[in-house]
Each structure stands twice: as structure tokens, then as C-alpha cells.
Amino acid sequence: MMSNTISDYIERDLRARLACKGEFECPLTLHALSRHYSVSLTPVREAVRRLLEARVLLKQPNGRLIVHAVFASKMRPAKAAVAAPPQRPADIEKRLVLEIVEKSLRRDSEFLREDAAARRFGVGRTAIRQLLSRLAGRGLLVHVPRRGWSVRPFDDDDLAAYIETREVLELKALELARPRLDKKILRRMLAANTKHIGRQQLDNSIHDYIVHASENRYIRDFFEHYGDYYDTIFDYAAPETSVVASMARQHRAILRALIAEDWSTARRALSQHIRAQRAIVQRLLAHLSRSDSNHEAAS
């Protein structure tokens, strides 16, 4: 299987464009190529090293890079091959988050190391450090000096405590938000949780809307500080169509009650929806446990 780090992409793209045109859109310097591909110097340096080893490029005594004459002589006018696009920071972050959540749910205590992660994703160590720091700010990681980045281990009792506290605070937020709820916004959320062309849609924005409409900074601080880790866990745990349909149905019950100003029904529906999150995660944990057991038995 062809690897697809940013270094791999840059190498393939440079080779294809040089084979097609014999020149590149920017000067063949590390800094110019770094700006062209919008990456750090690390993946550019690695791609250039490979092209030098392959004799596609030559380094002159003054350090300037040129296309090797033998490679140039084999060039044919043709359309440059389309290389696979590189992973962007958002793509890398998405992959890292999924890995971290899996490690957390499996109580994997292995440290994440910056050098290894940078090589694996083909980016500079500085970029990886910034990304890991951002994930630590979201509560997914803890930095341990001289050891690396530790994944936060999942704890079911902690989840139960979070859900209990979340229920109390979100119901209080709903009480405070009642005078400020906009029915036009609520109807848009309702539409976003209905089927479209036979496919169930799920929109979770009702929770943030209620919390922010409460205008209580202490409630907002709780969800901003603790909510991201568990929101990530919940999103990971609920990809199945049946679970999505169930959660969307619960959202619709909350929203319809809010639009009708049936506050007691809205509170009850919101409470039931929040409590249902724990069962979803527990089913996922059971599935992971069975999967790990089957893998061990097979090996």
C-alpha cells in the first residue's frame, strides 16, 4: 500500500510536475517549497532528500537544487500525474482524536511521543506539539514532562458523576434560558433532526444553545472545561444508524416541547436524553471488550 504522509505527497507531486514541465512553479529551495505546500520544513526536507537519493534532483556546490540531466532527458510532454492530496492539520487532528478516544476507552496507558507522531503524519514536531497541546486543552491528553503525552483513561464512575452533574446544570440552564429561547431557531434545530431524503439527520446544537442562552457563566464554564472530552466520547460511541435515529427522536421531543412552551415535558425529555448517554457508551465498551477478547483468542 502506498503511504500518504505529507513527505510522500510532496515527493510524488514534485516528481510528476518536474517530469511534465521540467521546472516547478516556485524556486527549488526548502523555504520556497515549504511556503508552496503550506507545511513546515521537515516534510519538505525529507521529500527533497529522497529525490536527491533517486537522482531526480542534484545539489550543486553552492547548495542550489537542479533537475538531474538524465531525468530531464527522459521527460515527455504530458499531463502531470494527479497525486493524492496531503493530510492537512484538520485531517491529522481528526485521526489523532479517534486514536486517543480508542486508547482512552481501552484504558491504554501507552504514551504518545512527539517525534514518533511527527514522523507518522509527515509533519514537523512543532506542528504536532501545537496539536497535542490543543487536545490537552480539550481534556483528551495530559502532558508528562520527559515522558510524552498521556491519554486520559476512561472511568465509568467518572462518566456517571459527569452525567449527574450535567443533568442538574443543563436543567438549570433551561430554566434560565426560557425567556430568551427563539422559536425560529428551535424550529431550525427541529428540522435538522428529521429525516432528509430517507436519511436520518442528527444535530446536537440544542445543548449549546440552551447553555449559552442561560447567560450563566458558571454553567458555561463547566461545559467548556469538562464537556469536550465526554462529547467526543459520545460522538464516537453513537455512529450506528439506530442510535442516531434514537438520539434525533429524543432531540425532537425536547424541541417540540420547547416550541409549545410545555416546560415540564421539555425538562423530562431533556433529562431522559442526558441519562441515555451512559448506556450508549457502556454498549460500546462491551463491544470493544468482546472485540479485544476475540482478537486475543485468534492470536
The CATH number of residue 239's host domain is 1.20.120.530
User: What's the whole-model pTM score?
Assistant: 0.65
pLDDT-above-70 percentage for the chain: 85
Whether residue 288 sits in one domain with residue 205: yes
Phi-psi region of 201 (alpha: psi -120 to 50; beta: other; left: phi over 0): beta
At 164 the pLDDT is: 97
Inter-residue contact 138 to 228 (CB < 8 Å): yes
Domain count, the chain: 3
Amino acid 242: pLDDT: 79
pLDDT tens column, 74-122: 554 444 444 444 455 567 888 888 888 888 888 888 888 888 888 888 7
Alpha-carbon distances of 298 from 102, 105, 236, 285, 295, rounded to whole Å? 21, 22, 26, 20, 5
pLDDT at 258 over 80: yes
pLDDT for 280 beyond 60: yes
Same domain, 34 and 98: no
CA 3 to chain centre: 20
Residue 123: closest CA among 99, 89, 146: 89
Closest CA to 255 of 170, 191, 197, 168: 191
Residue 131 sits in the same domain as residue 186 = no
